[in-house]
Structure 1
Amino acid sequence: MRRLLPYSAAFLAAILFCLVVPHAAAAARGAQEGLDVALATAIPALFPFFVASGLLIRSGAVSVVGKWCAPLIRRVYGLPGEAAGPLVLGLTGGYPIGAQAARELYDAGTLSREEAERLLGFCNNTGPAFLIGVCGAGLCGSVRTGVLLYGIHIAAALLTGLAMTARESSQAMRHASRAPEPLPFSTCLTQSVQQAGRACLSITAFIMLFSMLRRVLEAAGILEHAAVLCTPLLWFLGAPADAAQPLLVGILEMTSGLVLLPEGAGRALLPAMSFVVGFGGLSVLCQTAAAVNGLSLRRLFYGKVLHGLIAAALTMIVQAILPHPTPVFSAALASLPAHPAAGLLFVSISILCVTSSGKKHRNRL
């Protein structure tokens, strides 16, 4: 199998080259659009969190928080308390802040390789600014809907963590975390800014690449034909056929797919949006791969697929318990009742309690 890897890479490179050459104008337009998105949206939003996460880790603040969170994180996920830092940063800062923080804890010796890779499965998530501002207020016309989607996103991430660590968390952790030596603030700041700059450059390159790839696939008609092939699956799931192409675009590049979803997803908009946001898209996976260079991406990939599926399922549950079916773009969506969130919270807590009880039982055995 390993002998075939160089040939498969060469084959994919040749296909990409053959697509770009006849559609050079579309490729250039896509690259320009990606650069505009990166400079206007992604980098200004992510750079402060990259610097802040670096400062928290290098200054030793994450180790202090880890001591407080150790009993809970160890019991629920079987990880050292310091894992709470990347998880919180990932849920508040957006992609790929959590993964970057996990990698830095591994570099500092606070997490072992196996612990860092397990953490990658559920600490890399979308932040509230994107879900509430872009998905809620921007695409759905409702801040309350964005808050609801963010709550579902948090619940799905926590449940994904339970699923990803269920097999190993029954064993007591024997790894003794080694807290990094605190550095002077000036050293922490300069190192954090340098690391943030490198991460932002890498993210910009991947956003440009996948924006270019999307435009090339559209110009070549490949996306349209792939959408036709996906139509039976969408019909089985109860989603309209017009949602196929936006979903495929979202699997490539999250933001572009989310912008296209309202045009054809209909009532399936919120579940489809939850899946795309939870999975993150191949562009985000590549950005994360660059941020965690050296760590295995197997659990990260499985975790993001599972996260997207759980988020979509939870969204459908919330929609099912609404008292009156509401079209996605009706004015009533802006005033979603409060009890769906309460119902979602009840379901999430129930699953967490059942899983935790099962872990305690296995520990006694």
Structure 2
Amino acid sequence: MKKSIGPMAAVLCLILLLLNPATAAAGAARGLALWGQAVVPVLLPFMLCTGAVVGFQATDLLVRPAAPLFKRLLGLSKEGSFVMLCGLLCGYPMGAKLDGEFLKDRRISAQEARYLLAICNHPSPMFLLGYTAGQLADAGAPDFGPALLAALYLPVLFLAVRAGKRYRHFEVQLSAAQLDPTVRSEQPSFSFDAHMMSSFETMVRIGGYIMLFSIAAAYLEKLGLPSAISAVLIAFLEITTGIRSLCSTFPSNSCLVLTAAACAFGGLSGIFQTKSVLKNPELSIRDYIQWKCLHSALSALMMAFFVYL
């Protein structure tokens, strides 16, 4: 069954492109504009800087002030705290990318990496307070920036409890480099040029997925579905375009709840971006999707509490 779905989907996509190339071109242009104007300027500098911090073995220096808090609240090691901090500040899919890289380099254990994957990949505060809050203000909900942050980030504590029980053998431990100094010496010396090229490759991959799902959203808009259904489906595909559709379709209270759910889930585009940067068979994208669904539901419930109570 799976073997037949792939070829059929590819043929269907080609037929759609041939029948309506203008829609594909408009969707691709919108996706690439989003990538070039919003994603690259925000994410690429963070990606370059965090890679340099890791390469120059400066993670301890950066995370030292926050490590005790992350250890007390989430039970993370210093390396895990760095992954969590970057995931919160940089946005999708930076947390998952660092999680996979730290596991590959044996900086964190497999159990801590799985635990982190459940809690470290989120939209950044800049995205929430900038683009998302702006769209909500246009929909008539101008003062819900703090509530949006709370609805997105407070459920992480509940997720941490659930993930901690699931990965119950996880415990804070020294990294392999700390346990065995030869591990660090065996790692190749850091090359900023190589890291920069790797970051460019990752950004192009992310841009490709944003473009593809923007094309899918453009075709979805052409189907003539009821506006409410279309907006929800677009948000399910790609959150940036989806948030705009939600805010232009639903009344402000409903828009707030649906936007919180969409931001927490990240859309199919975010899931594919995350899968593309994990590159580690020990980390399951299926588990990640389950955690994102739970996070989405919790964020919607919390935002509904803020709005209606």
**What TM-score do you get using the length of structure 2 for normalisation?**
0.86
What pairs with 1:172-211 in structure 2 (closer than 5 Å)?
A: 173=171, 176-179=174-177, 181=184, 187=190, 189-211=192-214
Tell me the distance in 1 between the aligned counterparts of 2:254 and 2:165.
31
Determine if the alignment matches structure 1 residue 112 to structure 2 residue 109. yes
Determine if the alignment matches structure 1 residue 317 to structure 2 residue 302. no
Alignment partner, residue 249 of structure 1: 234
Does the 8 Å contact 2:221/2:230 carry over to 1? no
What pairs with 1:36-185 in structure 2 (closer than 5 Å)?
A: 36-63=33-60, 77=74, 79-140=76-137, 144-169=143-168, 171=169, 173=171, 176-179=174-177, 181=184
SS in 2 for 1:187: coil
Distance 1:113 1:6, change over 3 A: farther
Tell me the distance in 2 between the aligned counterparts of 1:64 and 1:298.
34
Distance 1:29 1:167, change over 3 A: same
Distance 1:162 1:52, change over 3 A: farther
Tell me the distance in 2 between the aligned counterparts of 1:154 and 1:118.
16
Tell me the distance in 2 between the aligned counterparts of 1:107 and 1:288.
16
How far is 1:156 from its partner?
Answer: 2.0
1:7-50, Cα deviation, whole Å (9 max, x unpaired): 22223223322333212221111111111111111111110111
How far is 1:117 from its partner?
Answer: 2.8
SS in 2 for 1:109: coil
How far is 1:174 from its partner?
Answer: 8.1
How far is 1:265 from its partner?
Answer: 1.6
Determine if the alignment matches structure 1 residue 290 to structure 2 residue 276. yes
Does the 8 Å contact 2:87/2:94 carry over to 1? yes
Amino acid at match of 1:85: F
Determine if the alignment matches structure 1 residue 11 to structure 2 residue 8. yes
Determine if the alignment matches structure 1 residue 281 to structure 2 residue 267. yes
Distance 1:74 1:9, change over 3 A: farther
How far is 1:97 from its partner?
Answer: 1.1
| Structure 1: gaps of 5 or more residues | 228-241, 322-365
1:156-199, Cα deviation, whole Å (9 max, x unpaired): 23322322232323x46386521373899x93533432222111
Between 11-20 and 263-272, the greater mean CA deviation after superposition: 11-20
Between 150-159 and 207-216, the greater mean CA deviation after superposition: 150-159
How far is 1:115 from its partner?
Answer: 2.9
Amino acid at match of 1:121: A
Does the 8 Å contact 2:112/2:170 carry over to 1? no
Between 247-256 and 56-65, the greater mean CA deviation after superposition: 56-65
Distance 1:203 1:139, change over 3 A: same
| Alignment equivalent of 1:261, drawn from 246, 249, 252 | 246
SS in 2 for 1:173: coil
How far is 1:59 from its partner?
Answer: 2.2
Tell me the distance in 2 between the aligned counterparts of 1:187 and 1:176.
22
Alignment partner, residue 31 of structure 2: 34
Tell me the distance in 2 between the aligned counterparts of 1:43 and 1:117.
27
| Alignment RMSD (CA, Å) | 2.7
Tell me the distance in 1 between the aligned counterparts of 2:17 and 2:108.
42
Does the 8 Å contact 1:51/1:196 carry over to 2? yes
How far is 1:87 from its partner?
Answer: 1.2
Tell me the distance in 1 between the aligned counterparts of 2:156 and 2:265.
11
Does the 8 Å contact 2:135/2:247 carry over to 1? no
Tell me the distance in 2 between the aligned counterparts of 1:39 and 1:292.
23
Amino acid at match of 2:219: V
| Structure 2: gaps of 5 or more residues | 178-182
Structure having the higher Rg: 1
Amino acid at match of 1:255: T
Tell me the distance in 1 between the aligned counterparts of 2:151 and 2:39.
23
Tell me the distance in 2 between the aligned counterparts of 1:314 and 1:174.
30
* % identity of equivalent residues: 27
Tell me the distance in 1 between the aligned counterparts of 2:48 and 2:205.
15
Tell me the distance in 1 between the aligned counterparts of 2:20 and 2:126.
35
Does the 8 Å contact 1:203/1:287 carry over to 2? yes
| Alignment equivalent of 2:217, drawn from 210, 214, 223 | 214
Does the 8 Å contact 2:136/2:255 carry over to 1? no
